[in-house]
Structure 1
Amino acid sequence: MPTDSDAKTTEQAARILELLWRHALPAKVGGRGPKPGLSVDAVVAAGIALADRDGIGKLTIRAVAAELGLRAMSLYTYVPSKEALLVLMVDAVAAGDPPIPVGLPVRERLIAIATRIRDELLAHPWLLEVSPWRQVLGPARMRRYERQLTAIDGIGLSDLAMDRAIAVLTDFATGNARLAIAARGAAAQLSDADWWQVHGPLLTRVMPAEEFPLAGRVGTAVGEHYQAPADPDGAFAYGVAVLVDGLLADPGA
Structure 2
Amino acid sequence: MPTDGAEKSTAQAGQILELLWRHVLPAKPGTRGPKPGLTVDAVVAAGIALADRDGIAALTVRAVAAELGVRAMSIYTYVPSKEALLALMVDAVAAEDAPVQADLPIRDRMIAVATGVRTELLTHPWLLEVSPWRQVLGPARMRRYESQLRALDGAGLSDLAMDRAIAVLTDFATGNARLAVAAAGAAELLSDADWWAVHGPLLARIVPAGEFPLAGRVGAAAGEHHQAPADPDGAFAYGVATLVDGILADR
TM-score, structure 2 length as denominator? Answer: 0.97
Percent identical among aligned pairs is 80
The CA distance in 1 between the partners of 2:223 and 2:154, in whole Å, is 43
The CA distance in 1 between the partners of 2:30 and 2:54, in whole Å, is 38
Q: Number of residues paired by the alignment?
A: 251
**C-alpha deviations, 1:57-86, integer Å up to 9, x for none?**
000000001111110001000000001000
The CA distance in 2 between the partners of 1:62 and 1:34, in whole Å, is 25
Alignment of 1:82-231 (within 5 A): 82-231=82-231
Q: Structure 1 counterpart of 2:106, which letter?
A: V
Paired position in structure 2 for 1:46: 46
Deviation at 1:34, TM superposition (A): 9.4
Q: Equivalent residue of 2:230, what SS?
A: coil
TM-score, structure 1 length as denominator? Answer: 0.97
The CA distance in 2 between the partners of 1:178 and 1:71, in whole Å, is 35
Paired position in structure 1 for 2:9: 9
Deviation at 1:28, TM superposition (A): 1.7
**C-alpha deviations, 1:22-64, integer Å up to 9, x for none?**
0010012315999512110010000000000000000000000
Asked whether 1:65 is paired with 2:62, we answer no
The CA distance in 1 between the partners of 2:95 and 2:22, in whole Å, is 14
**C-alpha deviations, 1:204-250, integer Å up to 9, x for none?**
11111211000011111111221211000000011001011111111
**C-alpha deviations, 1:170-220, integer Å up to 9, x for none?**
000000000000000000000001111221122111111211000011111
The CA distance in 2 between the partners of 1:236 and 1:31, in whole Å, is 49
RMSD: 1.3
Distance 1:125 1:148, change over 3 A: same
The CA distance in 2 between the partners of 1:129 and 1:69, in whole Å, is 26
Distance 1:245 1:42, change over 3 A: same
**C-alpha deviations, 1:108-139, integer Å up to 9, x for none?**
10000000100000000000000000000100
The CA distance in 2 between the partners of 1:34 and 1:191, in whole Å, is 55
The CA distance in 1 between the partners of 2:63 and 2:79, in whole Å, is 14
